[in-house]
Amino acid sequence: MPSTDQMAPKIVEKSGVYISTYGCQMNVNDSERMYTLLEMSNYVPVTSADQASLIIINSCSVREKPVHKVHSEVGRYRKLKEKNPSLKIGVAGCVAQQEKKKLLKDVPLVDFVIGTDSIDELPQIIAKIKSENKKSVDAKFKHQQPYQIETLIRNPGVSTFINITKGCDNFCTFCVVPFTRGRERSRPYKQIVEDVNKLISRGVKEVYFLGQNVNSYTSDCGVNFAQLLKGIALETDIERIRYTTSHPKDFNQELIDISQEYREKICEYIHLPVQSGSTSVLERMNRVYTREGYLKKVKMILDTIPGVALSTDIIVGFPGETDEDFEQTLTLLEEVPFETLYAYKYSPRPFTKAARYTDQVPEEIKSERLTRLFKIHKAIAAQLAKKYLGQTLRVLVEQSNGERSFGRSQHNKVVHFKTTNNLVGQTVDVKIHTAFPATLRGELVGAHE
């Protein structure tokens, strides 16, 4: 007869895990992957660090500010660690990949460092640091391995991220990403189709393809990015496809034509980072296009997809940027209808070529230029938003409380409207009566078939 001990149900107490996420959508998706993997190994996500026995900071190092934030966040956990010495603190993401074991030395509170290519080993890494009670660093790139992963999402919403490429081979002279995410790899085409189909069966209506440079996607069977979009539009029942980020050098007529042909599914929104309006700055940035080349691509897009919404990234104060160069960036804003602008002061990054350029621009000039740029763009954006007034937009509803709903139009505009029932996941027609640069308001005029 079994002893009472053997008969008693085994109660395994779950440990709390808290992940704080910085940086781009790639990191948001990686945090979701970490939560999913940890849930499978008996962790439960908690909403604040003081409830956790495991804290992971999923860091970003694209500019200096996010790096500082990681250091100060770890510092805030000192008291928690004093209260609970078994609390484990890890750093993941791009700072982890960049700093590797140096992080353990510089920030003694950190117990483990996990690089961007080691996420799938997270449960084993944690089991090891706990059983051996010693610190660990896993930050080697797995360049020899094919990029074959299944998208892991706990509760997919209406719209879900799917990584299609990882890494970057472009080596723009300002950018740390090729050093923190490694060489560029594309996932097999068939695996992406399977992912999309699985997510559709879980209620997903929109997939958001992610990569540092999505439009250089090339699958094992030779499918390019345009063909991937076409394949997903034709072979699956997904309602919408979004993607980010595209590099202007890989934006070609085939992609534009397919976007137009399948515009019912492929969103009419293109984020096309220009970085600068000056050809000589672009050359020193190693962007491999000129101002004229960029303008030509924009013309191709606008001529083929009327009504398309454009957005961009700009860096001000890149080393050697003169007043004239900066003026060229300002005039570009008048030539290209960018509805949204993400702009940053140049920040020297480790390992990058531009950090070693000797003609760095003083901080005050960078700040002045950024303020001027945003001011000019604000007026342009307000003007551009007016075109939506009176238009009826197809909105995929993301949130609804039975009274108010919001969703996104095919142009990636956030649209708010009143409702009398919960419409989450439905595509509806909304007639726009108020247009701000970032959001629109309108009236529900019907469901969309």
Pair type for strands 392-400 and 427-435: antiparallel
Q: Which stretch binds ligand F3S (CB under 6 A): 54-62, 195-203, 228-236, 313-321?
A: 54-62
Q: CB under 5 to 8 A by kind: which of ligand SF4, ligand SAH, ligand F3S, none does 178 bind?
A: ligand SF4
Q: CB under 5 to 8 A by kind: which of ligand SF4, ligand SAH, ligand F3S, none does 261 bind?
A: none
* Alpha-carbon distances of 6 from 2, 9, 10, rounded to whole Å: 6, 8, 9
Show the site string, 232-261: x = touches ligand SAH by CB under 6 A, - = not.
-------------x-x--------------
What single string gives the DSSP state of each residue in 167-221? Answer: ------TT--HHHHH-S-EE--HHHHHHHHHHHHHTT--EEEEE-TTGGG-B-TT
CB-wise, 274 or 385, nearer to ligand SF4? 274
- Min CB(167)–ligand F3S separation in Å: 9
425 touches ligand F3S (CB under 6 A): no
Q: Which stretch binds ligand SF4 (CB under 6 A): 35-43, 129-137, 153-161, 165-173?
A: 165-173
Q: CB under 5 to 8 A by kind: which of ligand F3S, ligand SAH, ligand SF4, none does 171 bind?
A: ligand SF4
Q: How many CA atoms lie within 13 A of 249 on its CB side?
A: 14
CA distance 319 to 299: 29
Q: CB under 5 to 8 A by kind: which of ligand F3S, ligand SAH, ligand SF4, none does 349 bind?
A: ligand SAH
60 touches ligand F3S (CB under 6 A): yes
163 touches ligand F3S (CB under 6 A): no
Provide the 3-class DSSP secondary structure of residue 19. strand
Please tell me what DSSP assigns to residue 355: G
Given 31, 61, 275, 352, the residue binding ligand F3S (CB under 6 A)? 61
63 touches ligand SAH (CB under 6 A): yes
227 touches ligand F3S (CB under 6 A): no
Restricted to residues 175-214, the positions that interact with ligand F3S (CB under 6 A) are 176-177, 180-181
Element (H, E) at 374: helix 363-385
Provide the 3-class DSSP secondary structure of residue 376. helix
Residue found by looking up tokens 């700040």 in the block: 367
CA distance 16 to 49: 9
Q: How many CA atoms lie within 13 A of 406 on its CB side?
A: 9
273 touches ligand F3S (CB under 6 A): no
CA distance 160 to 29: 9
Query: Which residues contact ligand F3S by CB under 6 A?
Result: 23-24, 26-27, 60-62, 93-94, 176-177, 180-181
Query: Which residues contact ligand SAH by CB under 6 A?
Result: 62-63, 174-175, 177, 212-213, 245, 247, 273, 275, 313, 315, 344, 346-347, 349
